[in-house]
Amino acid sequence: MAKNVIITKTARKKLVQARAGIITLPKIVGMAFGSGGVNSKGEVVPPTDNQTTLTAEMYRKKIDGYSVLSDTSIRYECTLSESELAGKSISEIGLYDAANDLVCIKTFTAKGKDDDIQMTYTLDDVF
């Protein structure tokens, strides 16, 4: 399993309720971007499953799409245009569902975003 990636408790609660027929599971619709995935020394801070937000969320955007990798894994993709988050450093991303709840969070070393390039982020949802 990848490092510094968690499925939130909110997501697990929804999965259990959907399996029982209590709710219909909302689909993944977007990716959140933040700058709080590292500490003041630049070291990656692991997310916790109790998180309901990114540590320092800056932006949300609808996903570009997804690819089915296997029966138990899907890769979600989201591209930031040249102007989106230009001049910012990104160190955490999360998937959010149609109910606007974060269901997966990943932290990583800070990546600077220049204003003359697009950046595509991928996040695998693996069971």
pLDDT at 3: 78
Cα–Cα distance, 47 to 43 (Å, whole number):
13
For 27, which DSSP code? P
State the DSSP code for 86.
Answer: T
pLDDT digits (tens, 9 = 90+) for 5-14: 999 999 999 9
CA dihedral sign of residues 101, 48, 93, 40: positive
How sure is the predictor about 2, in pLDDT bands with cuts at 50, 70 and 90? low
Q: How many whole angstroms from its chain centre is CA 117?
A: 21
Report the C-alpha dihedral over residues 31, 121, 79, 67, rounded to 10 degrees.
-80
| pTM recorded for the entire structure | 0.94
Q: Distances in Å between the alpha carbon of 41 and those of 44, 92, 109, 110?
A: 9, 16, 11, 11
For residue range 13-59, what is the model confidence (pLDDT) as tens digits?
Answer: 999 999 999 999 999 999 999 999 999 999 999 999 999 999 999 99
